[in-house]
Amino acid sequence: MKKRYVILGIVLILILAIALIPKYFVKGDKKVKYKVLETSEVPEKIKEILPKYLADERALGCRLDDEIYVLVTRGEKQTGGYTVEIENITREKTKNDKVQLTVHAKFRDPDVNDIVAQGFSYPFTIVKTNLNQMPEDIKLEIKYEE
């Protein structure tokens, strides 16, 4: 009977260890929930400032009222057919207790045989996040897809 309680105790300790140990290795990485906005859903204030940033390849944050938005731009392209898609956003606390976002984006370029619009294009995407404070830093991680 004693062996049964000892084994049960060891199993419970192992289960708790398995549940709690990953929290110490993850170092505060958390996925940020977001919603990709259609053009009609983008607030007017963001539409007004967006042209200033379209020529650069970057990710930036924007606070409007109590909402935090993340914009990812690809810069100026010679033709159409270029896209940008946000795969996920993670939040991490740095050593200085600052909040850093990492935006994982997927960039697609047109195939050489694709028929695309001739003229300059400025691919971008805008998402509305569930964040309640502006991050100190936003890092863009790019994955190119064919």
Sheet architecture: strand order including 30-31:
30-31, 83-93, 99-108, 137-145
Of residues 143 and 2, more confidence is placed in 143
142: β partners: 105
Grade residue 4 by pLDDT with cuts at 50, 70 and 90: confident
Query: What is the reported pTM?
Result: 0.76
> 46 in the Ramachandran plot: left (φ > 0), alpha (ψ -120 to 50) or beta?
alpha
Q: Would you say the C-alpha torsion 28, 94, 84, 142 has a positive or negative sign?
A: negative
For the ranges 6-10, 77-81, 108-112, 134-138, the lowest mean pLDDT is seen at 6-10
Check pLDDT > 80 for residue 21.
no
Separation between Cα atoms, residue 129 and residue 59, nearest integer Å: 14
Which whole number is the average pLDDT over 14-42? 76
Would you state the pLDDT for residue 24?
A: 54
Separation between Cα atoms, residue 146 and residue 140, nearest integer Å: 19
Would you state the pLDDT for residue 35?
A: 96
Residue 126 CB burial class (10 angstroms; 0-12, 13-18, ≥19) = buried
Would you state the pLDDT for residue 29?
A: 57
Compute CA distances 18 → 7, 24, 26, 133, whole Å: 16, 11, 13, 32
101: β partners: 91, 138
